[in-house]
Amino acid sequence: MSDRSDATYHDLIAANRRNSVLLVAGFVLFVGLLAAVLAAAFLGGDPAAGITAGVLALVVAGLMAVWSYYGGGNAILRMSGARLIEKKDDPQLYNVVDEMAIAAGVRSPPV
């Protein structure tokens, strides 16, 4: 897909998701490797300590990545004080959200 003008909306979404997964996986691996190197360096070059720290860092970073994927959006909404509104609260906003959902061919999200 060298020319992005030929790409469909769904192709672009798939490419974005793939690139996001690769970016997160690369970051998790980087954190594990960095923890292993730092642990080995600070503990007198002990490779066992480096491997243990690296594996622990991989597990923690992996769990954090999974939590961010599944729960990060809700956490941000709670921190910002967001709340659900009903159609009677702001009919124009609901209309805009519905029109965008229809245009994108997706289900209308909560507002």
Q: What is the pLDDT of residues 16-68, one digit of tens each?
A: 999 999 999 999 999 999 998 888 888 877 888 888 888 999 999 999 999 98
Is residue 74 domain-shared with residue 92, that is, in the same domain? Answer: no
Is residue 45 domain-shared with residue 95, that is, in the same domain? Answer: no
Is residue 72 domain-shared with residue 99, that is, in the same domain? Answer: no
Sign of the Cα pseudo-torsion (38, 44, 47, 51, in order)? negative
Q: Label residue 10 by pLDDT band (50, 70, 90).
A: confident
Is residue 65 domain-shared with residue 108, that is, in the same domain? Answer: no
Asked if residue 40 lies in contact with residue 62, where contact means CB atoms within 8 angstroms, the answer is no
Give residues with Cβ within 8 angstroms of 48, minimum separation 6: none
Is residue 65 domain-shared with residue 105, that is, in the same domain? Answer: no
Is residue 71 domain-shared with residue 98, that is, in the same domain? Answer: no
Domain that holds residue 49: 4-80
Number of domains in the chain: 2
pLDDT at position 109: 86
Q: Label residue 73 by pLDDT band (50, 70, 90).
A: confident
On whether the pTM is more than 0.85, the answer is no
Is residue 32 domain-shared with residue 53, that is, in the same domain? Answer: yes
Question: How many other CB atoms are found less than 10 A from the CB of residue 98?
Answer: 14
Is residue 50 domain-shared with residue 65, that is, in the same domain? Answer: yes
Is residue 9 domain-shared with residue 35, that is, in the same domain? Answer: yes
Is residue 75 domain-shared with residue 90, that is, in the same domain? Answer: no
